Amino acid sequence: MTWLVILLCFLGYMAAHIADISVQNQRLMDNELINLLLKLRNEEFYDTLLVYGKDCEFHSVIKNVDVAVVLVSDSMNFEWNFSSLTLILSCGPDIDNGGPNSTSIKLQRNRRLVLLKEDFQPSNICNIYTQKEQYNIALVRENFTKSKSIYTCRYFQDPNVDEVNLSGTKPIFIEQFQNMKGKAIKIVPDLLPPRVMVYQDANDGELKMIGYVANLITNFAQKVNATLQLDFLKPSKSITEISRMAKDDELDMGITLEASLNTSNLETSSYPYLLTSYCLMVQVPAKFPYNLVYALIVDPLVLGIIFVLFLLLSVLLIYSQKMSCRDLSVANILLNDKSLRGLLGQSFPFPLNASKKLRLIFTILCFASIMLTTMYEAYLQSFFTDPPSEPHIRSFKDIGKLRHKTIITAIEANVLISTNNTQFLDIPKKHLCIYENWRDWLAMRDTFNLSYNYLVTEDRWSSYAEQQKLFKTPLFYYSNDLCFSRMIFLSIPLRRHLPYRHLFDEHMMRQQEFGLVNYWKSHSFFDMVRLRLTPLKDLSQPTVYNPSLLMEDISWIMKIYFVAISLSVFCFTMEIGWDKWKRWRD
């Protein structure tokens, strides 16, 4: 009995083992492919497999790998919403056709493994994919189990196919655009200082670019060992032409910044480079002239309070002298000389044997007089040293009260209108001046022409602010209350299928991270001065002689004084005359 059990167990074990071996034999090809997939996963992680094409070996392999699989049989005509860590397995050399640009952009960089019939030439396939701007391609033949060799396309290598051994250590996919070996990048600069400034180098006579956008691109080209192929816009074209060229694949990178007000251009622009606001640059309100300073500090409300104080003190003085209301009359109250002199800080007779209450009231009077005279003294002296300025405008509703109109180019006006910018629509039409020629408009802004207020982004403002530090008095200020948008992302226009877009985005973020962009921005004004694009001088045209208070400014006080004196003389003579006349009649 025991022997039988042991024998049966042994037979069962043997049967299972033999079955296992035969399955293994069947799946030899699969095993090699699985090894390849594991090797690829070690090289760079993926969590999704996209299997493209009619039934082939890949379809049996994917049952044994534990990653998500997307099966596509004929067309890529859908929006790719799955993971970006995807490995594409292609059955046969057919290149997926059609599909929206968003899907092809998202999948452009992903690695692709193509299974070929034995008679296909790998170099042909590589050329076909290269024309489609897909560079991460590896090919295996159907006799892969025996040969164990993988063909990979190397774009920057001649001939462009490399054979890799599965058990070797050579990587199958490499970052091809890490070293572009002098390949040209087509760029079009907008030549707007301080973003991009082109100059001829004095040493080697070459055209060079600086500026906080140009530096980003030149550094990138240096990093990936590429050359820059410079193209210029025709002077008649506007800078939106660069975005148009990027959309139509006429350039690789535009050296300009475009605002992402429109989400439709996400495919043809980089990751946001700068975050900025877009506000008005308003003239600093004028200071009040010196001859108005006195009128400024004589506030009617304060005068009223002083007058009420004077009346109260007069009533108290008269009442507490005799502790009775007998002497209270309008003339006594209004023309109380003690109270008046006291408030004006003058001396006045202090009655002998004054009661305690009266002394208390005199104390109050003296205190009030000290407060009043010192307050006005301080006010007057500080305003004479630095006269106050006219009020700042704080909302778009009041913008009509600004002394100067706001000038805007037709291009910007159209963008603001088409995006339904409520702030812009709030501005009264008669306050706006829409200007067609944007180059003239820029020149006016750059020379701080005081005829208008201007629109400016904060990044451009930073160099104006730097320039204004040279001025005796600043001419403009950046109004944080009058903003059309407080958050604008500025990005670089790129061609839709730019194969090194990911390298460029990463490079851009690194430059930001190291603070280089802020450094360039802070230096941009001095770069402009160095290239003689802006003068290093005070454009505020300071007046040499700043007239202070003149005799004629206070002449009206004298005039009023003379009128009052003449009036009193007239009253006095009338009174004497009236008295004489009455006596003569009696």
Ligand X SMILES: *[C@@H]1O[C@H](CO)[C@@H](O)[C@H](O)[C@H]1NC(C)=O
Rounded to a whole number of angstroms, the minimum distance from the CB of residue 535 to ligand X is 13
CB closest to ligand X, residue no: 182
CA nearest neighbour of 475 among 449, 455, 456:
449
Find the binder of ligand X among 75, 77, 84, 165 (CB under 6 A).
Answer: 165
Beta carbons of 51 and 71 less than 8 angstroms apart: yes
Choice between 81 and 200, CB closer to ligand X = 81
Element (H, E) at 42: helix 28-43
Find the binder of ligand X among 118, 158, 204, 386 (CB under 6 A).
Answer: 118
Beta carbons of 531 and 197 less than 8 angstroms apart: yes
> Binders of ligand X: how many residues, by CB under 6 A?
32
Beta carbons of 246 and 269 less than 8 angstroms apart: yes
238 touches ligand X by CB under 6 A: no
Choice between 119 and 552, CB closer to ligand X = 119
496 touches ligand X by CB under 6 A: yes
Structure tokens given for 513: 């991270």
Rounded to a whole number of angstroms, the minimum distance from the CB of residue 17 to ligand X is 29
Can you list the positions of beta strands (E) in 57-101?
Answer: 68-72, 86-91
Structure tokens given for 93: 């050399």
Q: Which amino acid is at 2?
A: T
Strands 86-91 and 48-52: what pairing?
parallel
Choice between 264 and 385, CB closer to ligand X = 264
Choice between 77 and 522, CB closer to ligand X = 77
d(CA 299, CA 375): 13
Strands 227-230 and 432-435: what pairing?
unpaired
Instruction: For residue 460, give every residue at least 6 positions away whose Cβ sits within 8 Å of its Cβ, in sequence order, or none.
Output: 194
179 touches ligand X by CB under 6 A: yes
Choice between 203 and 264, CB closer to ligand X = 264
Find the binder of ligand X among 24, 157, 178, 262 (CB under 6 A).
Answer: 262
Find the binder of ligand X among 22, 131, 203, 264 (CB under 6 A).
Answer: 264
Rounded to a whole number of angstroms, the minimum distance from the CB of residue 458 to ligand X is 20
Choice between 41 and 244, CB closer to ligand X = 244
Instruction: For residue 282, give every residue at least 6 positions away whose Cβ sits within 8 Å of its Cβ, in sequence order, or none.
Output: 392, 393, 402, 453, 476, 477, 479, 482
Beta carbons of 224 and 181 less than 8 angstroms apart: no
Spell out, one character per residue from 313 to 352, where the chain touches ligand X: x when CB under 6 A holds, - when not.
----------------------------------------
146 touches ligand X by CB under 6 A: yes
Find the binder of ligand X among 10, 45, 78, 307 (CB under 6 A).
Answer: 78
451 touches ligand X by CB under 6 A: yes
Choice between 185 and 358, CB closer to ligand X = 185
d(CA 126, CA 161): 7
Find the binder of ligand X among 420, 543, 546, 548 (CB under 6 A).
Answer: 420
- Interface stretch with ligand X, choices 69-77, 144-152, 153-161, 288-296 (CB under 6 A): 144-152
445 touches ligand X by CB under 6 A: no
Choice between 54 and 146, CB closer to ligand X = 146
Planar angle of CA 520, 524, 528, nearest 5 degrees = 145
Element (H, E) at 585: helix 555-585
d(CA 359, CA 342): 13
444 touches ligand X by CB under 6 A: yes
- Interface stretch with ligand X, choices 283-291, 334-342, 414-422, 514-522 (CB under 6 A): 414-422
**Strand order from edge to edge, sheet including 184-189:** 227-230, 184-189, 253-255
Find the binder of ligand X among 261, 284, 315, 516 (CB under 6 A).
Answer: 261
Structure tokens given for 433: 């001046």
- Interface stretch with ligand X, choices 51-59, 139-147, 269-277, 363-371 (CB under 6 A): 139-147
535 touches ligand X by CB under 6 A: no
Find the binder of ligand X among 31, 260, 419, 423 (CB under 6 A).
Answer: 419
Spell out, one character per residue from 23 to 42, where the chain touches ligand X: x when CB under 6 A holds, - when not.
--------------------
d(CA 283, CA 448): 9
d(CA 540, CA 475): 6
Backbone angles phi, psi at 555, to 5 degrees: -65, -30
d(CA 494, CA 252): 6
The residue length of the chain stands at: 586
Per DSSP, the residues of 483-523 read EEEEEEEEE-BB-TT-TTHHHHHHHHHHHHHTTHHHHHHHH
121 touches ligand X by CB under 6 A: no
Choice between 82 and 288, CB closer to ligand X = 82
Find the binder of ligand X among 143, 157, 382, 437 (CB under 6 A).
Answer: 143
442 touches ligand X by CB under 6 A: no
Q: Which amino acid is at 22?
A: S
- Interface stretch with ligand X, choices 151-159, 259-267, 456-464, 504-512 (CB under 6 A): 259-267
Rounded to a whole number of angstroms, the minimum distance from the CB of residue 497 to ligand X is 6
Find the binder of ligand X among 31, 60, 130, 147 (CB under 6 A).
Answer: 147
Residues in region 187-226 near ligand X by CB under 6 A = 225
Structure tokens given for 394: 């704080």
Instruction: Provide the binding-site residues for ligand X, judged by CB under 6 A.
Output: 78-79, 81, 101, 118, 141, 143, 146-149, 165, 167-168, 179, 181-182, 225, 249, 261-262, 264, 415, 418-420, 444, 447, 449, 451, 496-497
